[in-house]
Amino acid sequence: MNRVPFYLLEAEFRKLPKLFHLDDYERCLERKDGIYCLGMFDVYSDVTPNPVYDIIQEKSQDLSLYNRSYLHRGYCLPTRCPSSEANETARFERCVDAWARGHALRTRLHTLHYCRAHGQPRPLGPDTNDLPHRVVLYFACTMLVMALVGTVYDCFIAKKGSKNPYLTSFSIRINWKQLTSNYQDVDPRLRDLESFQTLRMYPLYLLLNGFAATWWKSIGDGPLWPVLVGAESENCRKKFWITAAFLQNFIQKRDLCLVQTWIMAVDLQLHMLILFLTLLLHKHRQHAVKVLSVLFVVATGLLAYKAFTEDLIPTYLYTNPEAYRNFFAAGGADSFFDLYIHPINGAMSAIAGSMIAFIHMDHQERNIKMSRSKVLVFLHHIATPFGVIWLYLAYPYFRHYDRWTQNLMVVIERLVGAISTSFFIYSIVNHKGLFHQIARSLRTVTRLSFSVSMCHWCIMILLYTDRWILQDSSYLRVFSDVIVVHVLSHIAAVPLTLLVEYPLQKFMERLINITGHRWFSPLKAKAQ
């Protein structure tokens, strides 16, 4: 295919109206007669031929570009369109249409997000005195007080060797030592009760979801704040108990709230399945790999059936600009909700990982030193380059194929991902090479990973929606935004880990070790 010269594309785009525009939000609402309206508009033409409209229609068919048949406008009505019209919505619609006529186009209002006048409360403004707000606030204050009490007790009151383990669970000094130590030289984290892995993360998970449902929308403002933060916070409030039960990938799944939390839901669902299989196959380890291989084939078949019957496409085909702009809530990204966040999408990887674990256990019991295998070392070194090449080639090569091939690529993509990832984990455990050294050198950062994953979305949306005027985008600006979000997320993760995650993990561990020892000891003895 001949490549279109860049200057021709640039010349075409210069003829098009800007996709986004925001008047100065703060200055507008400082005026006593200030009215700020935000909305989305359909673009149409009432004359033919219309070269500009034809270009818009053509470019809107390209999934690698934004859909320019919709324009997004935030106008300060008194400065942009002075009028005595009392109906703010009609005034806003006529104002944008008058501007569009200057570009030989017409517009009609598709969605009015809000119109806010000087002195009016923010749309979707929170009631910070209601019960949910107070519960989150009281919990945060309780954790701060317990951290203070535990630290003072640990450092100044308790005698060495006779410290109360429940109070020292909240000691910042001890938790900091655990976070930064080379080895886990503090109490082991439920090594004998791995089924409580999710339970240990649950308090922080609930806290961040509670924050998103309450205080999140109170900490900023801007023209996009009610549309993005306010609307998502309302979703979090509406489906809080659904999220708490890890069912957000099945119930009201299109009402996104902290989009990354679907990972916790799918993790728990697959974790329970694999835990059941592991306990079932533990006594019959000689048949474990065969049984899991059959289940792997079954999972592959179920994925293929779902992909073809529901016309689903691979990840890299629906991650287009419009899908990102809508946070996958619109723009035709049905595959995100029907496949990507569905447990069947991860079942193959979970089963493959369990299979690798049984193989690894078998090799250990038979004293097979896989670290000496030259084939393993070679495959270990080419695994990452292979993954990069696969991702790079898959998108441009299969993007233009027919729908049947794209459906098939759903299965191939998952197969390649499950097999290569499982092998990479197996090789990194058995071969102490470069990746193992890198992982060990980043142990403190990786211990923050759960807290980072829980708070980074709030921070990213906060940074984007707290901007009061439109800013031009570029590769450098996007890169700098990624770095800023990454750094701020890790900074925020430190107090979350020291004050919430670690203290409650240890506190719950001690409770479970005391109350659960007599429950699980017989089961553990039977398993051995």
DSSP of 385-415, one letter per residue? HHHHHHHHHHHHHHTTS-HHHHHHHHHHHHH
End-of-domain residue from the set 95, 117, 139: 117
Q: Is the dihedral of CA 85, 44, 70, 100 positive or negative?
A: negative
Query: Model's pTM, two decimal places?
Result: 0.83
Q: Residue 238: helix, strand or coil by DSSP?
A: helix
| Structural domain includes residue 149 | no
Mean pLDDT, range 257-275, rounded to an integer: 90
- Side-chain-side CA neighbours of residue 204 (13 Å): 29
For residues 168 and 185, give the distance between their C-alpha atoms in angstroms, rounded to a whole number. Answer: 15
pLDDT higher than threshold 50 for residue 189: no
3-class DSSP assignment, residue 353 = helix
pLDDT higher than 50, residue 372: yes
Residue 511 confidence (pLDDT): 79
Q: What pLDDT, on a 0 to 100 scale, did the predictor assign at position 195?
A: 47
18: pLDDT strictly greater than 50: yes
Query: Does residue 148 lie in a domain region?
Result: no
What is the Cα–Cα distance from 510 to 108, expressed in whole angstroms? 62
For the segment 204-213, what is each residue's pLDDT rounded down to a tens digit? 999 999 999 9
Range among 46-55, 210-219, 434-443 rated most confident? 210-219
- Residue 381 lies inside a defined structural domain of this protein: yes
Q: To which H or E segment does residue 112 belong?
A: strand 106-117
| Residue 377, in any domain of the structure | yes
C-alpha–C-alpha distance, residues 59 and 67, integer Å: 7
Q: For the chain, what percent of residues have pLDDT higher than 70? A: 84
- Looking at residue 479, its pLDDT comes to 87
Task: Give 516 or 233, the one with higher predicted confidence.
Answer: 233
Among 97-106, 426-435, 456-465, the minimum mean pLDDT is found in 426-435
* 17-31, 73-87, 428-442, 467-481: segment of lowest average pLDDT: 428-442
The pLDDT, as a whole number, for residue 2 is 43
| Overall average pLDDT of the 268-277 stretch | 90
Q: Which of 75, 100, 117 is the last residue of a domain?
A: 117
Cα-based distances in Å from 135 to 140, 216, 224, 244, 507: 9, 14, 28, 15, 20
Number of independent structural domains in the chain: 2
Tokens coding 312: 């689903």
Q: Where are the alpha helices (DSSP H) in 285-373?
A: 285-309, 315-318, 321-325, 334-335, 343-365
Model confidence pLDDT, tens digit, residues 116-175: 998 887 765 667 788 999 999 999 999 999 999 999 998 888 777 678 888 999 999 999
| DSSP-based helix, strand, coil % in the chain, nearest 5 | 65, 5, 25
Tally: H helices and E strands in the chain: 25, 4
Flag whether 47 is in a domain.
yes
- The predicted structure's pLDDT at residue 290: 93
488 vs 444 pLDDT, higher one: 488
Does residue 370 fall inside a structural domain? yes
**According to the model, what pLDDT value does residue 394 have?**
67
Residues near 120 by beta carbon (within 8 Å), at least 6 away in sequence? none
Domain extent for 414: 284-320+328-440
Task: Say what the pLDDT of residue 7 is.
Answer: 43
pLDDT score of 5 more than 70: no
Q: How confident is residue 194, by pLDDT bands cut at 50, 70 and 90? A: very low
Interval 384-433: pLDDT, tens: 777 777 777 766 666 666 778 888 888 888 888 888 888 888 877 777 76
Domain boundary among 420, 440, 460: 440
Nearest to residue 255, comparing CAs of 276, 234, 282? Answer: 234
Q: Which residue has the higher pLDDT, 113 or 10?
A: 113
pLDDT band at 325 (very low <50, low <70, confident <90, very high): low
Q: Does residue 388 sit within a domain?
A: yes
Quick check: is 185 in a domain? no
Q: Cis omega (within 30 of 0) on the bond before 49? A: yes
Amino acid symbol at 153: Y
Burial (0-12, 13-18, 19+ Cβ within 10 Å), 4: exposed
